[in-house]
Structure 1
Amino acid sequence: MAVTDADHYTGQITTRVDGIGHVLADSKLEIPDYQRSFSWSDDEVRELWDDVLKAIRDNVPDYFLGSMVTTAGAERDQVIDGQQRLATVSILFSAMRDILKSRSDERAEDIERDYLGRKNIRTREWQPKLKLNSDDNAIFQLIIEGRFSEAKRQATRDSHKALVKAYEILHEKMEQAIADLPATSWQAPLVELHEYLLSSANIIRVSVPSESRAFVIFETLNDRGLNLSTADLLKGHLFGTAGGRVEECKYSWAQAMAPFSGDDRSSTDQFLRHYWSSREGVSRVKALFSQMRDSVSTSEEAVALASELGKAAPLWASMFERDAAFWENYPDSAKESLEVLGALKVEQCRPLLLAVMQKFPKQEIEKVLELLISWSIRWFVVGGSGAGVTERLYAEAAKAVSLGEVTTASEVSARFIERVPSDQEFEKQFAVMSVRRGWLARYYLHQIEKYRRGEDQPEFISNSDVTEVNLEHVLARNAARSDWPAFSDDEFTDMKLLIGNQCLLRQRVNEGLGNGPFASKKGPLSQSGYLLTQEIAQCADWTPDKIWARQERLAVDAVKIWVRGV
């Protein structure tokens, strides 16, 4: 071997310090299919390049790239941790090979043979040094075989595009490094980089004879500084604990991760926290993995948790997509509630909604959705008792649903009734509130319009697209002061965003209104199909008193729409 330390044995576990170039040259490696896809960002690729170049410039004899954990496979060693660095350095060697080849330098063949792969002498099939998981491998192999243009055309997934971008960045960096050098010495920077990656850019390789032990090492290394997500750690613990049932775990884990694209760590960790809160009550990010780990100590428990996650993840993902299969037979009002919860960033209710989606029949789920949106609007208008208190309340209710202690929307409602703002509080605040966000004002007015008409989904207002339905400020934001003599200076400034001053209009009608006085707006407002808009046109003039009176009427309706309980 090239630059290495002596092997260190702990039972059957072997550790070795080696240049990452030697690791690629001397091994046949494979990323298992259950591992996440390639995910390094542009910044991470550039950081690797910059760090290695700085180490070369500073004559650092041994630059540490991190660790990798492998276990023996039938034909290739399986990479449990370290794929991002291995894939990126392989792409770097691919770019180096292509630059050398483009200038007819025979060292291109050496780079390909030593670090990327070669064709079988009998079958002529490509035999790569490194294979990625099934999602990424086809694109990766095109790159390392020297077919980058084809790889770029076929890149569809986020991870594919990340692989392509990594090549483009590293190819450009190397071209810049050799630019303007004479024909006799342009190869020198590439040769120096190759030699440094071969023997001085070191990685600690931990070789473990079985997957279960590999995942234990993987978890231990995280405690010593690896930047791993809760999902990474939990996967390692489940696989390490599953023993002979690890294949069952892998299958269920793949189902759990299927709704998440690429390396969507934030979403997967958010899902795990919401799932765990729905089972155990409120869970904090820092303690989440330790809590989940401590609940799994046998292979049966590992398989059971993986299976539960596989069933729960698609439901959780459905909360963010109104067209998901789960909501196919639900009314538009339920789908609209999902969108409003997302727009309001009401995350605290997710554990409860997840538990309800798992346990309740369709009719009860619809009722709970109505409650969630009503409570969210009430807390949004009045103000809640703090995000922490609300989160705990939702999580405890979710736990009760998961345990079967709460089985109906009415029973859910009973747990919240004392915490949700009362009708009196809600009406009082609604009657004086300003609404700066256009989508929220449209939502309020759409819901009140539907209530006034006694119809759940009247056809003529079902489209709330801003390109079809506009929001009109009767006292316009850019109105001329002289056109509104009934308003004091403070009223002219402060009343424009009151919900009582806002109404819905078809886009084509609203385009012609402009910022003129009320007299110029009465005609178009009277011709609107919206009842709430027509009533404004019935006023002889638009004054502060008219705005306050209309806002108070809207507040009375709001109490009846966003109800406190069932």
Structure 2
Amino acid sequence: MNRIDKSQIDIKGIGKVLSEGKLSVPPFQRSYSWEEKQINDLFEDINESISHKNEDYFLGSIVVLRKEDGQSEIVDGQQRIATTSILLTAIRDILIELGDNVRAEIIEKDYLFSRDIETLELIQNLELNTYDNIFYTEHIVSREKRKLTSFNKVSHEKLSLAYNIALKFIRKEIIGSKEKNENIAKWITFIKENVKVIWIQVEDYSYAYTIFETLNDRGLVLTVSDLLKNLLFSKAGKKINSVQSNWIEMNTYLEAIDKENLLVDFIRHYWSTQEGLTRQRELFSKIKNRITTSNEATQLSENLVFGSYYYTALLNTDHEVWEKYNNETRESISVLKMLGMQQNRPLLLSMLQCFDKKELELAVSRLLSWTIRFIVSGRLGSSGLEINFSEKAKMITDKKIKTADSLLEEMKKIIPSDEEFEKAFSVYSSNKPEVARYLLISLEKNLNAEKEPEQIPNQNSDQITLEHILPQKMSNNWNYFSEEDHQFYFRRIGNLCLLKKRSNSMLRDDSFGKKKSVYQTSMFKLTNSLVHLSEWNKDSIDKRQSELAKLAVKAWKLK
């Protein structure tokens, strides 16, 4: 018999689902994530269905695992259930505002919570995951809402947003007429009986996984992270508790530094260190083909915890991982993060997990130089870089590359040569001020012959700013540049210099002659040297940038 045949499948109103209670979101499930558009779309769709007297509004499927204590653990569908519960809570709160405590209490009793007869504590019909439930209880469901000063998590902000959208919507669409009591009753009844969901109750996580795959095959868009999580849980067998615990721990590391969803990026980059380049679209199928036993699922979950710990260090230079490394390494990691190149993360992750201290410090220093060369030259492109970095990451994981020198030998095949880098730098333009500022500061340090200038980032724009010699906006002082030439030249590195913020604010679109009086007082040699020029035109920019390109070869060496 197919596992789906063993499931209990029913069609219910989502209000009836909430009224039956004992619903919980397991701790490993992702937090509340709906955005404003999704929330509004749900409310508007229900409103339209009621207005047009449609019999039913179909909301999708809800997959639950029935626990021994009678609790129904939500495997899929928590966003829809939670948003509906928030809508009902908002209706209750507005009824209280209107002095209609009788109807408010009916909604509470039927859909939101009961109270312990001894302690009077809330027993919620719906409990969210570990990260969201206290906030949901204290700031949404409870009548006595605690005052908010800030949000600890993005999901809390989204829960609060959903509640405020619900309040606004109800005031406008439900109680904005004389028939408000009739409208409220109509909405409550429709939510209870006519906002339909397919209720799928399964016996264990392996059944839930089968349901997920079947729904996905039939066109329901499920996130890669949902599929991966349920794959591991379905294969875990008797080790399910360990795998769930590992999944929570991994998420805890990632959520500590991330305002967006890092999970899929991390797993993809980790898998690339093991198997070479893995695209997001093929991640699930590749892992599914490899993870077939309980031991393999458990081992992968343990490896993901270990990997996530180091992965978060790549995005946080205050991470405890960096305490044993020198300052140059920490600063290089900061610059690599600022540059925003994700393609090198598998390589960094494998180095951090496999190289000893000395080799890691040397390799990170070199990787920064190579990354600058790739960015400036555009060599290989995004796809080519990802292929090569992932390939080298796997070689490190497989112990085929054990040192920074052996990594260099492999990378030499693809790193832009001095000649190629100099040629590319001589015409390079940057759309990112923080990158241009870093490049100029590093060149300045190199000109002053200070040790390892590429590892001394200074991104404090409150102190040091970028001055566009040919200004960003044209004026009569610069009318000898055509519009086309201006667009081509004003972002060129040769047209940029460093200034203290106060000095820069004085210049704006002044002529080159007036600007030189400020450049003369600058502490930066590359800026100060501009005073020796009599004019600033296309040839001046080209010549200065060619000089900077020669300096760049020395600043970002191959070795």
TM-score normalised by length of structure 2: 0.90
CA contact (8 A) 2:151 2:157 kept: yes
Structure-2 residue corresponding to 1:398: 393
Aligned residue type for 2:409:
A
| 5+ long unaligned stretches in structure 2 | none
Q: Which moved more, 1:23-32 or 1:319-328?
A: 319-328
Residue 544 of structure 1 and its aligned partner are, at CA, apart by 6.1
- Aligned match of 1:167 in 145, 157, 163? 163
Structure-1 residue corresponding to 2:113: 117
Residue 447 of structure 1 and its aligned partner are, at CA, apart by 0.8
- Aligned match of 1:50 in 24, 29, 44? 44
Partners of 1:559 and 1:516 in 2: CA distance: 33
Residue 49 of structure 1 and its aligned partner are, at CA, apart by 0.9
Matched, 1:66 2:60: yes
Structure-2 residue corresponding to 1:92: 87
Partners of 1:447 and 1:329 in 2: CA distance: 25
Q: Which moved more, 1:148-157 or 1:26-35?
A: 148-157
CA 1:553–1:117: 2 relative to 1, 3 Å: same
Partners of 2:460 and 2:288 in 1: CA distance: 46
Partners of 1:353 and 1:147 in 2: CA distance: 50
SS at match of 1:150: coil
CA 1:314–1:148: 2 relative to 1, 3 Å: farther
Structure-1 residue corresponding to 2:449: 454
Residue 477 of structure 1 and its aligned partner are, at CA, apart by 5.2
Percent identity over paired residues: 35
Partners of 2:316 and 2:291 in 1: CA distance: 32
Q: Which moved more, 1:250-259 or 1:398-407?
A: 250-259
Q: Which moved more, 1:116-125 or 1:87-96?
A: 116-125
Residue 395 of structure 1 and its aligned partner are, at CA, apart by 1.0
Q: Which moved more, 1:444-453 or 1:232-241?
A: 444-453
Residue 191 of structure 1 and its aligned partner are, at CA, apart by 0.8
Q: Which moved more, 1:476-485 or 1:414-423?
A: 476-485
Structure-2 residue corresponding to 1:360: 355
CA 1:251–1:511: 2 relative to 1, 3 Å: same
Residue 9 of structure 1 and its aligned partner are, at CA, apart by 9.8
Residue 299 of structure 1 and its aligned partner are, at CA, apart by 0.9
- Aligned match of 1:465 in 460, 465, 470? 460
Residue 309 of structure 1 and its aligned partner are, at CA, apart by 0.6
Partners of 2:12 and 2:254 in 1: CA distance: 34
Structure-1 residue corresponding to 2:173: 177
Structure-1 residue corresponding to 2:403: 408
TM-score normalised by length of structure 1: 0.89
SS at match of 2:253: coil
Partners of 2:136 and 2:440 in 1: CA distance: 52
CA contact (8 A) 1:139 1:155 kept: no
CA 1:527–1:330: 2 relative to 1, 3 Å: farther
Matched, 1:188 2:182: yes
Aligned residue type for 1:503:
C
Partners of 1:281 and 1:497 in 2: CA distance: 37
CA contact (8 A) 1:97 1:108 kept: yes
Q: Which moved more, 1:473-482 or 1:267-276?
A: 473-482
CA contact (8 A) 1:139 1:151 kept: no
| 5+ long unaligned stretches in structure 1 | 1-7
CA 1:150–1:496: 2 relative to 1, 3 Å: closer
- Aligned match of 2:104 in 98, 104, 108? 108
Describe how 1:501-516 pairs up with structure 2 within 5 A.
501-513=495-507, 515-516=509-510
Residue 283 of structure 1 and its aligned partner are, at CA, apart by 1.0
CA 1:97–1:526: 2 relative to 1, 3 Å: closer
Structure-1 residue corresponding to 2:202: 208
Describe how 1:78-89 pairs up with structure 2 within 5 A.
78-89=73-84
SS at match of 2:444: helix
Structure-2 residue corresponding to 1:4: none
Partners of 1:227 and 1:433 in 2: CA distance: 42
CA 1:154–1:211: 2 relative to 1, 3 Å: farther
Partners of 1:509 and 1:237 in 2: CA distance: 59
Partners of 1:125 and 1:223 in 2: CA distance: 43
Q: Number of residue pairs matched? A: 553
CA 1:492–1:255: 2 relative to 1, 3 Å: closer
Structure-2 residue corresponding to 1:254: 248
CA 1:154–1:146: 2 relative to 1, 3 Å: farther
Larger Rg: 1
CA 1:545–1:145: 2 relative to 1, 3 Å: closer
CA 1:518–1:71: 2 relative to 1, 3 Å: closer
Structure-1 residue corresponding to 2:211: 217
RMSD: 3.0
CA 1:483–1:154: 2 relative to 1, 3 Å: closer
SS at match of 1:260: helix
Q: After superposition, what is the alpha-carbon deviation per residue over 1:356-385, rounded to whole angstroms, capped at 9, x for unaligned?
A: 111112332233223332222222222212
Matched, 1:348 2:333: no
